[in-house]
Chains A and B, each alone.
Chain A
Amino acid sequence: MSVKIFIPGDSGAIAVGADRLATRMAVALAERGLSAEIVRNGSRGLYWLEPMIEVEAAGGRVAYGPVKTSDVDGLLNAGLLEGGAHPLSLGLTEEIPFLKRQTRLTFARCGVIDPLSLDDYRAHGGLKGLEKAVAMTPEAIVAQVTLSGLRGRGGAGFPTGIKWKTVLEAEGAQKYIVCNADEGDSGTFSDRMIMEGDPFVLIEGMVIAGLATGATKGYVYTRSEYPHAIRVMTRAIEIARKNAILGASVLGSGHAFDMEVRVGAGAYVCGEETALLESLEGRRGVVRAKPPLPAHKGFLGRPTVVNNLISLATVPVILDRGGEYYRDFGMGRSRGTIPVQITGNVRHGGLFEAAFGMTLGELVDDIGGGTASGRPVKAVQVGGPLGAYFPRALFDTPFDYEAFTAKHGLIGHAGIVVFDDTADMLKQARFAFEFCAIESCGKCTPCRIGSTRGVEVIDRIAAGIEPEKQKDLVTDLCNTMKFGSLCALGGFTSYPVMSALTHFPDDFQPKHLAEAAE
């Protein structure tokens, strides 16, 4: 058996040269007459080390990174295929502290296996959850998911089991499972990593959701900005069909389930579940008023589970190990693990899956290693463009839905964007309004008009025009948007704006006054 060299085919690795590296490696191996198989795995999520390659050596997988094409010959000279010593060697992959400190349940296989090898998937514990589920009643599956305490990983944190129960009990000849993979929040890429690195786990989760609710058709709604994820996911679905994981009789159970990938068209608001359904039906991505809930009247007016990708990809491990096993991780009402994405101006950026309860400070300082620029951390935005900016004073906040709400923030899809002290928080507040104006679906007035007025008011503060009056106006405007908007886009724009204004008041002093005072 030839040695395996793992070179990620993940977008993040490709963006920093993994494709060129794989090509160069293949040529170099051929030149030397060496026999080795190049596997394009997903990313382990240690992005500052990408492209990070691994070799299956006698003592386990050995990692090297970040590797440039010009390093290939040197690595092979150093005995890469045997895991030889080299300045780029990171030692055994599993022993790298960033990885070792994690609890990988949802991401257990991501970066480990060949994403499109079903044999690899099975060999690493794949399909065990589904095999159990096919022997269970829908009620029993729902009960395990409810017991696990799993909550919506898109950010709303709604209990997944309760949503499934609603759809199970809803009347309808045709029901649907819709996976929300419209991962538009800046600072997040966990959905993308799963689709590119372990697509079968999402398929397995969606099939289980189908068995649990009586839905026979699924859609993965993802983004046009994710071409590699679309390609891998689509291919994985074809493979799953050929192997009776999808189709008329899932694993020979007699239950039908099939699914397909649908691609959005660059509208952030389609990450909101009702706008997503409108888009899936072929309309403008305009938010629907609730009720009716999608669980009752969703896609094409039929009962529909709309779950975030990470929620669905976590279901297989829950069914495999049991709801109690998953529930025993975490804190408070936030059970299980959360794949935190540490991004932006940070030394060790990447994906860190751990039980709920780690503090923001641990994640940013210990795990993330502080800023990439080496300057002090000024602020971190948690939860995407609609998340609050937290100063260092709030770094003791534990990663937990309720704890973040209590501090007027949100964990959202668990992305953290780190900013150093060069960040201008007035500019960030202005951007929050600007982004809302660009992406507003236009249905409700507070969001559509308020966002544009917000940009204007911030500009007046920057220009020093009656700044105190403008700040009152911003506060009032945020209040109107928060309580008057139909969905989170308009409603949560107040989080970045108000947190910037509250925690960083100095940045909202008129510039010429601040400069004169120095």
Chain B
Amino acid sequence: MPLEEHRMDSRHLDAEIAARTEAIVGRLKPLEGPLLPILHDIQAEFGYVPQAALPAIAQGLNLSRAEVHGVVSFYHDFRETPAGRHVIKVCRSEACQSMGGEALADRLLGLLGLDWHETSADGAVTIEPVYCLGLCACAPAAMVDGELIGRLDEDAVRDLAQAVRA
């Protein structure tokens, strides 16, 4: 794509993101403390919190862009780039450690060829640590695309690595 056309395209995309963001801000603005609900909805809408959404949020809430950026970057949940098609969150907390969670997590990282917070080159999978899913009596635990998995073992890890690559 020629550079000029690409710029046009990305400007168009930014405008669309801004418009959809304004709708979310307009809907949630009446809440007391609306910023986190807004950011959650934006992430649900786009899969991440695009840079192009920040000016619309800032304007809608009468904040500076820096303030909005500060909030987005503070919280582990909010992504500044899209995630892979599958998102695996593996618990690294103490209860899961006590059941061999660390070795299983290392095994999974090895099978996927990824380190924490990385997305595979083909965009298939992102792997992230999570600090407690509240499944401490059925550890080790993970969450895959929002689905919970407890009593994780070698077999489950191998199946998981295969499933997200399929």
Interface residues of A (CB under 8 A from B): 11-12, 14-16, 47-48, 50, 183-189, 192, 217, 223-227, 262-268, 279-286, 299-300, 341-346, 349-351, 372, 381, 385, 415, 417-420, 423, 428, 431, 435, 438-439, 441
Contact A188–B134 (Cβ < 8 Å): yes
Contact B137–A342 (Cβ < 8 Å): yes
Query: Which A-chain residue is minimally distant from B76 (CB atoms)?
Result: A266
Tell me, in angstroms, the Cα distance from A491 to B157 when the chains sit together.
Answer: 37
Q: Is residue B22 contacting chain A, with contact meaning CB distance below 8 A?
A: no
Contact B138–A265 (Cβ < 8 Å): no
Which of A50, A265, A423: most chain B CB closer than 10 A? A265
Known contacts A262-B36, A267-B75, A372-B99; decide if A185 and B132 are in contact (CB<8 Å): yes
Q: Is residue B136 contacting chain A, with contact meaning CB distance below 8 A?
A: yes
- Beyond A284-B70, A428-B94, A428-B97, 18 additional pairs, beta carbon < 8 A: A12-B134, A16-B151, A48-B137, A188-B136, A189-B134, A192-B134, A227-B146, A262-B36, A263-B36, A267-B74, A283-B35, A343-B136, A344-B95, A372-B99, A415-B136, A417-B136, A419-B98, A435-B131
Query: Which one, B77, B95, B130, B150, contacts A16 given CB within 8 A?
Result: B150
When A and B form their complex, which 9 residue pairs have the shortest distance between CB atoms, in order from nearest? A282-B35, A349-B137, A15-B150, A186-B93, A265-B75, A266-B76, A47-B137, A343-B136, A344-B98
Tell me, in angstroms, the Cα distance from A496 to B116 when the chains sit together.
Answer: 25
Query: Which B-chain residue is minimally distant from A415 (CB atoms)?
Result: B136
Q: Is residue B111 contacting chain A, with contact meaning CB distance below 8 A?
A: no
| CB of A191, distance to nearest CB on chain B (Å) | 8
Chain B contacts for A48, CB-based, 8 A: 137-138
Q: Is residue B24 contacting chain A, with contact meaning CB distance below 8 A?
A: no
Known contacts A12-B150, A14-B148, A225-B130; decide if A284 and B137 are in contact (CB<8 Å): no
Contact B135–A189 (Cβ < 8 Å): yes
Chain A contacts for B109, CB-based, 8 A: none
Query: Which B-chain residue is minimally distant from A11 (CB atoms)?
Result: B148
Interface residue ranges of B123-164 to A (CB < 8 Å): 130-139, 141, 143, 146, 148-151
Query: Which A-chain residue is minimally distant from B129 (CB atoms)?
Result: A438
Contact B138–A16 (Cβ < 8 Å): yes
Tell me, in angstroms, the Cα distance from A431 to B137 when the chains sit together.
Answer: 20
Tally of B interface residues using CB under 8 Å = 41
Contact B33–A282 (Cβ < 8 Å): yes
Query: Which one, B34, B137, B149, contacts A282 given CB within 8 A?
Result: B34
Ordered by A's residue number, 7 sampled pairs between the chains whose C-beta atoms are within 8 Å are A186-B96, A188-B132, A266-B77, A282-B36, A381-B94, A385-B93, A441-B74
Contact B94–A15 (Cβ < 8 Å): no
Query: Which one, B74, B97, B151, contacts A285 given CB within 8 A?
Result: B74
Contact B134–A263 (Cβ < 8 Å): no
Known contacts A343-B95, A417-B94; decide if A15 and B135 are in contact (CB<8 Å): yes
Chain A contacts for B36, CB-based, 8 A: 262-265, 279-280, 282
Q: Is residue B40 contacting chain A, with contact meaning CB distance below 8 A?
A: yes
Tell me, in angstroms, the Cα distance from A77 to B33 when the chains sit together.
Answer: 55
Query: Which B-chain residue is minimally distant from A346 (CB atoms)?
Result: B137
Q: Is residue B39 contacting chain A, with contact meaning CB distance below 8 A?
A: yes
Interface residue ranges of B68-100 to A (CB < 8 Å): 70-71, 74-78, 93-99
Known contacts A186-B95, A345-B98; decide if A282 and B131 are in contact (CB<8 Å): no
Chain A contacts for B110, CB-based, 8 A: none
| CB of A179, distance to nearest CB on chain B (Å) | 15
Contact A11–B135 (Cβ < 8 Å): yes
Query: Which B-chain residue is minimally distant from A432 (CB atoms)?
Result: B94
Chain B contacts for A349, CB-based, 8 A: 136-138
Tell me, in angstroms, the Cα distance from A420 to B151 when the chains sit together.
Answer: 17
Contact B97–A431 (Cβ < 8 Å): yes
Tell me, in angstroms, the Cα distance from A443 to B78 when the chains sit together.
Answer: 21
Query: Which B-chain residue is minimally distant from A371 (CB atoms)?
Result: B98
